[in-house]
Structure 1
Amino acid sequence: MNSSKTRFLGVFAHPDDEFAIAGLIRKALSCGVEVHLVTATRGEAGRIQNEKKLLLGKMGPADIRVAESIDSCKQLKVTQSYFLGLPDGASEN
Protein backbone atom coordinates (compact mmCIF):
# COMPACT_ATOMS: atom_id res chain seq x y z
CA MET A 1 0.00 0.00 0.00
CA ASN A 2 1.31 3.42 -0.94
CA SER A 3 1.51 5.41 2.31
CA SER A 4 1.49 8.78 0.49
CA LYS A 5 -1.96 8.20 -1.06
CA THR A 6 -4.82 10.23 0.37
CA ARG A 7 -7.49 8.09 2.02
CA PHE A 8 -11.07 8.68 3.12
CA LEU A 9 -12.70 6.54 5.82
CA GLY A 10 -16.48 6.66 6.21
CA VAL A 11 -17.99 4.97 9.27
CA PHE A 12 -21.71 4.23 9.32
CA ALA A 13 -24.19 2.58 11.66
CA HIS A 14 -26.29 0.80 9.01
CA PRO A 15 -26.10 -0.52 5.46
CA ASP A 16 -27.39 2.13 3.03
CA ASP A 17 -26.21 5.05 5.20
CA GLU A 18 -23.49 5.61 2.60
CA PHE A 19 -26.18 6.99 0.26
CA ALA A 20 -26.13 10.19 2.32
CA ILE A 21 -22.62 10.99 1.11
CA ALA A 22 -22.64 9.32 -2.31
CA GLY A 23 -21.74 12.62 -4.01
CA LEU A 24 -18.78 13.15 -1.70
CA ILE A 25 -17.61 9.57 -2.30
CA ARG A 26 -17.76 10.06 -6.09
CA LYS A 27 -15.90 13.37 -5.86
CA ALA A 28 -13.18 11.89 -3.64
CA LEU A 29 -12.71 8.93 -5.98
CA SER A 30 -12.54 11.23 -9.01
CA CYS A 31 -9.70 13.08 -7.27
CA GLY A 32 -7.75 9.83 -6.78
CA VAL A 33 -8.61 9.38 -3.11
CA GLU A 34 -8.90 5.83 -1.74
CA VAL A 35 -12.35 5.45 -0.18
CA HIS A 36 -12.93 2.87 2.55
CA LEU A 37 -16.33 2.43 4.20
CA VAL A 38 -17.05 0.68 7.49
CA THR A 39 -20.60 -0.32 8.41
CA ALA A 40 -21.11 -1.29 12.04
CA THR A 41 -24.33 -3.34 11.82
CA ARG A 42 -26.21 -5.46 9.29
CA GLY A 43 -29.32 -3.31 9.71
CA GLU A 44 -31.51 -6.13 10.99
CA ALA A 45 -33.64 -3.75 13.06
CA GLY A 46 -34.65 -1.78 9.97
CA ARG A 47 -37.46 -2.35 7.50
CA ILE A 48 -37.25 -3.25 3.82
CA GLN A 49 -39.18 -0.76 1.68
CA ASN A 50 -39.82 -3.32 -1.07
CA GLU A 51 -41.45 -6.27 0.72
CA LYS A 52 -41.43 -8.24 -2.58
CA LYS A 53 -37.70 -8.83 -2.09
CA LEU A 54 -38.47 -10.74 1.11
CA LEU A 55 -41.09 -12.86 -0.64
CA LEU A 56 -38.98 -13.68 -3.72
CA GLY A 57 -35.98 -15.13 -1.93
CA LYS A 58 -34.70 -16.70 1.22
CA MET A 59 -32.84 -13.58 2.27
CA GLY A 60 -33.87 -11.81 5.46
CA PRO A 61 -33.94 -8.02 5.86
CA ALA A 62 -30.32 -7.82 7.08
CA ASP A 63 -29.06 -9.94 4.16
CA ILE A 64 -30.93 -7.73 1.69
CA ARG A 65 -29.61 -4.50 3.23
CA VAL A 66 -26.00 -5.76 3.22
CA ALA A 67 -26.32 -7.02 -0.38
CA GLU A 68 -27.74 -3.65 -1.48
CA SER A 69 -24.93 -1.83 0.32
CA ILE A 70 -22.29 -4.02 -1.33
CA ASP A 71 -23.90 -3.33 -4.72
CA SER A 72 -23.98 0.40 -3.95
CA CYS A 73 -20.28 0.36 -3.08
CA LYS A 74 -19.49 -1.48 -6.32
CA GLN A 75 -21.47 1.05 -8.35
CA LEU A 76 -19.75 3.94 -6.57
CA LYS A 77 -16.41 2.15 -7.13
CA VAL A 78 -15.49 2.33 -3.42
CA THR A 79 -11.95 1.07 -2.80
CA GLN A 80 -13.01 -1.27 0.02
CA SER A 81 -16.04 -1.79 2.26
CA TYR A 82 -16.10 -3.55 5.61
CA PHE A 83 -19.02 -4.90 7.67
CA LEU A 84 -18.48 -5.36 11.40
CA GLY A 85 -21.70 -7.31 12.01
CA LEU A 86 -22.52 -5.71 15.36
CA PRO A 87 -26.12 -6.15 16.57
CA ASP A 88 -28.41 -3.40 15.29
CA GLY A 89 -30.04 -1.43 18.08
CA ALA A 90 -28.06 -3.15 20.83
CA SER A 91 -24.92 -1.01 20.87
CA GLU A 92 -24.43 1.40 23.74
CA ASN A 93 -23.21 4.98 23.24
Structure 2
Amino acid sequence: MLFAFICKDKTDHLQLRLDVRPDHVTFLNGLNAEGTLKFAGPFLDNDGKPCGSLVVVEAADKKAAADLAAKDPYAKAGLFESVEIRPWNWVFNNPASA
Protein backbone atom coordinates (compact mmCIF):
# COMPACT_ATOMS: atom_id res chain seq x y z
CA MET A 1 0.00 0.00 0.00
CA LEU A 2 1.26 3.49 -0.81
CA PHE A 3 1.34 6.39 1.63
CA ALA A 4 2.09 10.06 1.01
CA PHE A 5 3.90 12.09 3.65
CA ILE A 6 2.87 15.72 3.29
CA CYS A 7 5.34 17.63 5.43
CA LYS A 8 5.29 21.35 6.19
CA ASP A 9 8.48 22.98 7.49
CA LYS A 10 8.46 25.25 10.49
CA THR A 11 8.78 28.92 9.56
CA ASP A 12 12.36 30.25 9.36
CA HIS A 13 13.94 26.78 9.48
CA LEU A 14 15.63 26.77 6.05
CA GLN A 15 19.12 26.56 7.58
CA LEU A 16 18.12 23.49 9.60
CA ARG A 17 16.83 21.89 6.40
CA LEU A 18 20.12 22.64 4.63
CA ASP A 19 22.20 21.36 7.55
CA VAL A 20 20.30 18.07 7.84
CA ARG A 21 19.84 17.49 4.10
CA PRO A 22 22.83 15.13 3.64
CA ASP A 23 21.43 12.76 6.30
CA HIS A 24 17.94 13.07 4.82
CA VAL A 25 19.25 12.17 1.35
CA THR A 26 21.13 9.17 2.78
CA PHE A 27 17.92 8.04 4.50
CA LEU A 28 15.89 8.34 1.28
CA ASN A 29 18.60 6.56 -0.73
CA GLY A 30 18.35 3.68 1.75
CA LEU A 31 14.57 3.51 1.33
CA ASN A 32 15.05 3.62 -2.43
CA ALA A 33 17.59 0.79 -2.37
CA GLU A 34 15.13 -1.45 -0.53
CA GLY A 35 12.27 -0.52 -2.88
CA THR A 36 10.24 1.31 -0.23
CA LEU A 37 10.59 4.85 -1.65
CA LYS A 38 8.47 5.59 -4.71
CA PHE A 39 9.33 9.29 -5.11
CA ALA A 40 10.14 12.36 -3.06
CA GLY A 41 10.92 16.04 -3.32
CA PRO A 42 10.51 19.41 -1.64
CA PHE A 43 7.63 21.81 -1.82
CA LEU A 44 8.82 25.29 -2.79
CA ASP A 45 7.74 28.68 -1.50
CA ASN A 46 7.08 31.75 -3.68
CA ASP A 47 10.84 32.46 -3.77
CA GLY A 48 11.66 28.93 -4.95
CA LYS A 49 13.09 27.87 -1.57
CA PRO A 50 12.16 24.53 0.02
CA CYS A 51 9.41 24.78 2.62
CA GLY A 52 8.22 21.20 3.03
CA SER A 53 8.39 17.72 1.55
CA LEU A 54 6.30 15.23 -0.36
CA VAL A 55 7.46 11.64 0.12
CA VAL A 56 5.60 8.58 -1.16
CA VAL A 57 6.50 5.18 0.24
CA GLU A 58 5.20 1.65 0.15
CA ALA A 59 4.33 0.27 3.59
CA ALA A 60 2.23 -2.54 5.03
CA ASP A 61 -0.12 -0.14 6.83
CA LYS A 62 -0.42 3.39 8.19
CA LYS A 63 1.49 2.53 11.39
CA ALA A 64 4.44 1.20 9.38
CA ALA A 65 4.33 4.35 7.24
CA ALA A 66 4.27 6.55 10.36
CA ASP A 67 7.26 4.63 11.75
CA LEU A 68 9.18 5.37 8.54
CA ALA A 69 8.22 9.04 8.63
CA ALA A 70 9.46 9.32 12.22
CA LYS A 71 12.87 7.94 11.21
CA ASP A 72 13.47 10.69 8.63
CA PRO A 73 16.37 12.87 9.82
CA TYR A 74 14.30 15.96 9.04
CA ALA A 75 11.61 14.74 11.45
CA LYS A 76 14.19 13.81 14.09
CA ALA A 77 15.75 17.28 13.81
CA GLY A 78 12.39 18.96 14.42
CA LEU A 79 12.16 20.58 10.97
CA PHE A 80 8.50 19.87 10.38
CA GLU A 81 5.60 21.91 11.68
CA SER A 82 3.27 19.13 10.57
CA VAL A 83 3.34 15.74 8.88
CA GLU A 84 0.19 14.35 7.33
CA ILE A 85 0.27 10.67 6.33
CA ARG A 86 -2.36 9.64 3.83
CA PRO A 87 -3.02 6.45 1.86
CA TRP A 88 -2.44 7.16 -1.81
CA ASN A 89 -3.35 5.44 -5.07
CA TRP A 90 -0.89 5.95 -7.93
CA VAL A 91 -3.14 5.83 -11.01
CA PHE A 92 -1.44 7.79 -13.80
CA ASN A 93 2.18 7.42 -14.97
CA ASN A 94 2.89 4.67 -12.46
CA PRO A 95 5.93 2.81 -13.82
CA ALA A 96 4.86 -0.34 -11.93
CA SER A 97 1.71 -0.61 -14.04
CA ALA A 98 3.48 -0.18 -17.38
Q: Which has the higher contact order (CA 8 A, sep 6+)?
A: 2
Could you say which structure has the larger radius of gyration? 1
Larger % of strand: which? 2
